[in-house]
Structure 1
Amino acid sequence: MTQVTFKNSPVTLLGEQVKEGTVAPDFSVLANDLSVRTLADFEGKKKLISVVPSIDTGVCSQQTRRFNEEASGVDNAVVITISCDLPFAQSKWCAANGLDNVVTLSDHKELSFGSGYGVVMEELRLLARSVFVLDTDNKVVYMEIVPEGTDHPDYDKAVEALKSL
């Protein structure tokens, strides 16, 4: 189990952490229009799943922008940002930042994604900053759970893992 802190305070991660080389678990989250989205909605695509505690904060905003900029040219790939923010807040953030094609999904309702991937911070009911790269068959080829929740992930390694598929 990965040890994680948030603002230098230890947090407990709930759920079973996925491992590289395994098939990623399905999840049920909400899109900005409140429709239910699952992993199957992205079938046949390479996926970079960028997980942030709250999209409308500095590092989370930068992470969302950077992954979308750097991975947008990767053939047959989708960048998905998941947080526990309400779908309305995610939609408002996208509009305020002029990002029309960013896929933001909310795990606030059931914590289905966070529990299935082992990234729910129990004390905060937020998702730990992390990145998962899945191939077209949903095999986890790269993952990072950032040890300190206010730090940035390793953008280069994640994007390289996506490009190498």
Structure 2
Amino acid sequence: MSTIKLKGNPIETSGSLPNVGDKAPNFTLTTPEMGSKTLADYKGSRVILNIFPSIDTGTCAQSVRSFNTEASEIENTKVLCISKDLPFAQARFCGAEGIKNVEMLSAFKSNTFGKDYGLNMTSGPLETLLSRCVIVLDENGVVTYTEQVSDIVDEPNYKASLSAILNK
């Protein structure tokens, strides 16, 4: 269990993020078209998992916009923006914002994603949603960088995430 904050108030999570050097746990998440994607679908590509509580908040939306811009030029890299939002809400946001360089995935049907990655919030007003974090994987699904954002209202460190990709 880890402790993060929401506007300075403590919130517990279901565990800790995977360690650098660990093989990332597999997942099955839902696409905006209601299909499924697994971690294995991205084998051979570097992956940035941009995980957040809800696309309908300012900080979460900004993280998707920022990764859409920042990571669009990096070869052999996929940015997966993951929340428990319904796939329809994710698609609506991307359509309205012109988001085309990231993939939206929903954990709304997954009972294991947040638990396996240690990022379900287990207390506070956002209980059961995913905490804001970034996990970077190499081409073989091995964790090369993690950031559990200490306060949910703060944006992740985009520069550090992208450096983890570029320095591999």
C-alpha displacement of 1:16: 5.1
Q: What CA distance in whole angstroms lies between the structure 1 residues aligned with 2:75 and 2:101?
A: 15
C-alpha displacement of 1:15: 4.3
The aligned counterpart of 2:141 is 138
C-alpha displacement of 1:11: 1.6
Q: CA RMSD in A?
A: 1.3
TM-score (norm. length: structure 2):
0.93
Please show how residues 18-37 of structure 1 align to structure 2 within 5 Å: 18-37=18-37
The aligned counterpart of 1:148 is 151
The aligned counterpart of 2:122 is 122
Does the Cα contact within 8 Å between 2:68 and 2:102 map onto a contact in 1? Answer: yes
| Residue of 156, 161, 165 corresponding to 2:164 | 161
TM-score (norm. length: structure 1):
0.94
Does the Cα contact within 8 Å between 2:2 and 2:12 map onto a contact in 1? Answer: no
Does the Cα contact within 8 Å between 2:2 and 2:14 map onto a contact in 1? Answer: no
% of aligned pairs identical? 39
Please show how residues 65-84 of structure 1 align to structure 2 within 5 Å: 65-84=65-84
- For 1:3, the aligned partner's letter is T
3-state DSSP of counterpart to 1:115: helix
CA pair 16-4 structure 1, distance change in 2 beyond 3 A: closer
CA pair 100-155 structure 1, distance change in 2 beyond 3 A: closer
3-state DSSP of counterpart to 1:80: strand
Moved more, 96-105 or 80-89: 96-105
Moved over 4 A (4+): none
Please show how residues 30-109 of structure 1 align to structure 2 within 5 Å: 30-109=30-109
3-state DSSP of counterpart to 1:14: coil
CA pair 73-156 structure 1, distance change in 2 beyond 3 A: same
C-alpha displacement of 1:10: 1.7
- For 2:155, the aligned partner's letter is H
